[in-house]
Amino acid sequence: MTIETETVLDRRRLRRNMAFWRALAVFAVILAIGAGLFGSNSFKSLLGQKQIARVSITGTILEDRKQLKLFDKIESSDHVAAVLLYVNSPGGTTTGGEAIYDALRRISKKKPIVAQFGTVAASAGYIVGLGTDHIVARGNTITGSVGVILQWPQVTELLGKIGVKVNEIKSGPLKAEPSPFKPLNEDARKVTEEMVQSSFKWFVSLVEERRGIKAPDVPGLVGGRVFSGRDAKKFDLVDELGGEEEAVRWLETKRGIDKGLEIVDWKPSDTQGFGLSSVVAGAATSLFGNRAGGLVDLMARDRSLSTLGLDGLVSVWHPSEN
């Protein structure tokens, strides 16, 4: 073999070795970035270590398919010993609260669930809490607001002032009623009130069933009042005053969950990923940002903005602006 041939072969071997070590270095950097972005708890989930799954319900409650799939995943995960549900929401759509409630009751057949109420857990936020086995609230938590509301604007006078007339042809007198383009007639009012009252009766029956109380016995409950955490405890709307520590203690002392289990945050699939592509995407976003999509990202992260277009029967509390 000539010297030139040996030189060429040596160079090829050197290039292969360099390519291997470069790939290994890149992979190590990706793992390090992934660990920094998602935390060690996420990797513990991959290893199947026993844990308490913490799920946060914040902002406006909607019927979110990704969130419901997350609950299905928690239900079928053997390494999840219990669920800690953190609720900090003024409410949202009644169907959104109902969907989460049903998902939580399915989980409760396999593993215990405890709710920890934050600043506010009212209306549909309270419906979500009713789906758990035990509710812990802060003394100053705003909760309750048992009720349903359907709102729409009436713009007939405004349209008249600017010279706009709305014409319509419809199949029946109750189609598209109530309408913002004309005053509410008695027939439309009647069927709308029936729909609201039907949902309200469901909500009240849920409170009575899950809390073991009679709604009329609680001052202001059927009127839709809000309660502080202390008053809610007094009227048996919540079980205990405190925070996450008290919620975990209940799981350990009352439901036999092992002490010292790691509490792991579980999030819907669009914000929780363990694959290589998810780590790379997360790292890129963290390092370089996404200015062009900033507004979209803001609305995705803060679902309270979605109240600007909230449709359907709503169970949501907000303080008066007057």
Q: Give catalytic residue positions.
A: 123, 175
C-beta atoms surrounding 270 within 10 Å:
10
**Total count of residues recorded for the chain:** 322
Beta strands per DSSP E along the chain: 51-61, 80-93, 113-122, 134-137, 142-144, 226-228, 240-241, 262-265, 314-316
CA separation for the pair 287, 233 (Å, rounded): 46
The answer to whether the bond into 178 is cis (omega within 30° of 0) is: yes
CA separation for the pair 219, 235 (Å, rounded): 9
Tokens standing for residue 118: 């934050």
CB of 242 closer than 8 Å to CB of 248: no
Tokens standing for residue 285: 């976003």
